[in-house]
Structure 1
Amino acid sequence: MDYITITGLKVFAHHGVLEEEKKNGQDFYLNAKLFVDCHKAGVSDELRDALNYAEVCQFMTDEFKSDSYDLIEKACEELCRKLLLRYEQLEKVELKLDKPHAPIGLPFENVSVTMERAWHRAYLSFGSNMGDKKAYIEKGIQEIKEHPLIRNVKVSQLLETKPYGYVDQDVFLNGCLFLETLLLPEELLAFLHEVEQHADRKRVIVWGPRTLDMDIVFYDREVYDSEDLIIPHVDMQNREFVLKPLAELCPNYRHPILGQTVKQLLDQVQSIPQE
């Protein structure tokens, strides 16, 4: 991926744990890699097609000075987030923050923290089979669209499906959606649980009835496994009610473990004789 490098941008600011750091301030140095597609600007030679790095430097300076944080980790995190939210064409930021005048009391050259933050692409499945199903789904999707760290939400059509697993329950409305987010997998999961709770979701029966269910199916090309979350979704390849709306959004997306596209997985499921 293309990137623009900014090195040694000097900014006087008031970050630090000690009161004297907050009161007196000190010089910091910002070093950034801004990952952006430079092809269009490289062809046109027009500033309107480029990321204006002079403007970016001024933005970084103003934003870094606008607040006071105890930790350079916090200052770096906030600046990464602000850059990605301010400049839509930015895909990823690698930021190194130098604090050469840190009050350590020993001879040293520099103290720094380096972070890499990026927009991530995720696919979610959702469903409801209680109450006003469509209203629960629409409200949940609207909450997702309104999250400040989520953008470019695209939603499949809704389809009515028979229950899966525990079959003694009402039919479902199901669908999938695509989003870009700055949330990490566990953060996204926690947010989706909040959305479900706002729909009065109760986790009583596995695969049982629910007002709203939202699952992470894919997150970038990651294979992720924790106590609370597995990505790709562990059973998505067996669920037509996931694969069918997912194929509407990304038919050629390849499962990072199984190596097959969403359309191929859907074709396999649909080829199994129905009882």
Structure 2
Amino acid sequence: MIHEAYLSLGTNMGNREDQLKEAVRQLEEQKSLRLLAVSSIYETDPVGFTDQPSFFNIVVKLKTSMTPDELLAACQEIENKLGRERIVRWGPRTIDLDILLYNHDNIKSDSLIIPHPRMTERAFVLIPLAEIDTAITLPGTSLPLEQYVKNVQGKEGVKLWKTADAFYRL
């Protein structure tokens, strides 16, 4: 069975654009998924732990035959290959891949919650997600994504850094 998923990618260490490109390239190498869209890069203020460099954030849309747990494992493998260390919660990172949405499913397990539990509070997730598809409705709601974008705090900390076409061509 083929599933639709959205991932958020973020980095604030090293060459941030190269980190994002390499993570997207490694996603493309996965035989069980196909990238459909890649958002522009947004430079964003850190959230939570704020004493760190700005982030680059993107969202990707994909089709996959992977289960949610298999997709999570693939994301974590890419994070490990790119040197991700989990030292400080919400701290600096070479790369972070989060599953935002998987079909229109609500999933809660010990290792995974979908939709991502804080995505509606994060402008750095909602803005690039809306760039890809404003018509998305979140599981368990009837509100379109654009309504969440309109109401989210912190939009002023999310700045377009490079357009999707200039960043990555599928």
Taking structure 2 as the reference length, what is the TM-score of the superposition? 0.88
Q: Please name the residue that 1:176 is paired with.
A: 59
Q: Do residues 196 (structure 1) and 82 (structure 2) align? A: no
Deviates more, 1:260-269 or 1:155-164: 260-269
The question of whether the paired residues in 2 share the 8 Å contact of 1:219 and 1:231 is answered with yes
Give the Å deviation of 1:227: 0.2
Q: Do residues 215 (structure 1) and 98 (structure 2) align? A: yes
Deviations 1:107-143 (A, max 9, x none): xxxxxxxxxxx11000010100001111111000001
The question of whether the paired residues in 1 share the 8 Å contact of 2:122 and 2:154 is answered with no
**In structure 1, how many angstroms separate the alpha carbons of the residues matched to 2:25 and 2:139?**
29
Deviations 1:158-216 (A, max 9, x none): 01000011000000000100000000000000000000011100011111110000100
Larger gyration radius, structure 1 or structure 2: 1
**In structure 2, how many angstroms separate the alpha carbons of the residues matched to 1:245 and 1:273?**
14
Q: Please name the residue that 1:235 is paired with.
A: 118
**In structure 2, how many angstroms separate the alpha carbons of the residues matched to 1:152 and 1:272?**
27
Would the alpha carbon gap of residues 273 and 195 (structure 1) be closer, same or farther in structure 2, given more than 3 Å must change?
Answer: closer
Deviations 1:56-84 (A, max 9, x none): xxxxxxxxxxxxxxxxxxxxxxxxxxxxx
Q: Please name the residue that 2:25 is paired with.
A: 142
Alignment map for 1:1-275 (pairs within 5 Å): 118-269=1-152
RMSD: 1.6
In structure 2, what residue type is equivalent to 1:199? Answer: L
**In structure 1, how many angstroms separate the alpha carbons of the residues matched to 2:16 and 2:7?**
17
Task: Return structure 1 stretches of 4+ with deviation > 6 angstroms.
Answer: 271-274
The question of whether the paired residues in 1 share the 8 Å contact of 2:35 and 2:60 is answered with no
Give the Å deviation of 1:154: 1.2
Taking structure 1 as the reference length, what is the TM-score of the superposition? 0.55
**In structure 2, how many angstroms separate the alpha carbons of the residues matched to 1:265 and 1:199?**
32
Q: Kindly tell me the number of residue pairs found equivalent between the two proteins.
A: 157
Would the alpha carbon gap of residues 227 and 271 (structure 1) be closer, same or farther in structure 2, given more than 3 Å must change?
Answer: closer
Instruction: Give the gaps of 5 or more residues in structure 2.
Output: 158-170
**In structure 2, how many angstroms separate the alpha carbons of the residues matched to 1:195 and 1:153?**
19
In structure 2, what residue type is equivalent to 1:168? Answer: D
Aligned sequence identity (%): 38
The question of whether the paired residues in 2 share the 8 Å contact of 1:136 and 1:211 is answered with yes
Q: Bigger relative contact order, structure 1 or 2, given CA contacts below 8 A and separation 6+?
A: 2
Give 3-state SS (helix, strand or coil) of 1:170's partner: coil
The question of whether the paired residues in 2 share the 8 Å contact of 1:145 and 1:153 is answered with no
Would the alpha carbon gap of residues 220 and 131 (structure 1) be closer, same or farther in structure 2, given more than 3 Å must change?
Answer: same
The question of whether the paired residues in 2 share the 8 Å contact of 1:123 and 1:178 is answered with yes
